[in-house]
Structure 1
Amino acid sequence: MIDMLSSASVGCHIDDVCVNNISYADDVALLSASVCGLRKLVATCEAYALSHGLIYNVKKNQVMVFGDGRKQYDNIPPVLLNSTELQRVYKFKYLGHMLTPDLRDDEDIQRERRALSVRANMLARRFARCTREVKVTLFKAYCSTFYTCALWARYTQKSYNALRVQYNNAFRMLMGLPRFCSASGMFADARLDCFYAIMRKRCASLVRRVRESNNGILRIVASRLDGPFVNHCCTIAGGMVQKWAEQ
Structure 2
Amino acid sequence: MRFGIQVRKSKTVSQRSRELTALIVIALCLICCVGSLSHARERICVNEGWRFTRDDPTNLSVRLCYDEWNFQEVKRFDAEADGNLLINAMGKAGVTNLPLFALKPWVLPTGNAFLKDPARRVNRPQQEPTLTIPYVLPEFDDTHWQLVDLPHDWAIEGPFIKSGNAAMGRLPTAGVGWYRKKLFLPSVDAAKKIYLEFEGVMSYAAVWVNGHIVGGWPYGYATWRLDITPFVKIGSDNIVAVRVDNPPDSSRWYPG
* Alignment TM-score, normalising by the size of structure 1: 0.21
Q: Report the TM-score when normalising by structure 2.
A: 0.21
Looking at secondary structure, tell me which structure has more helix per residue: 1
Higher RCO (CA < 8 A, seq sep 6+): 2
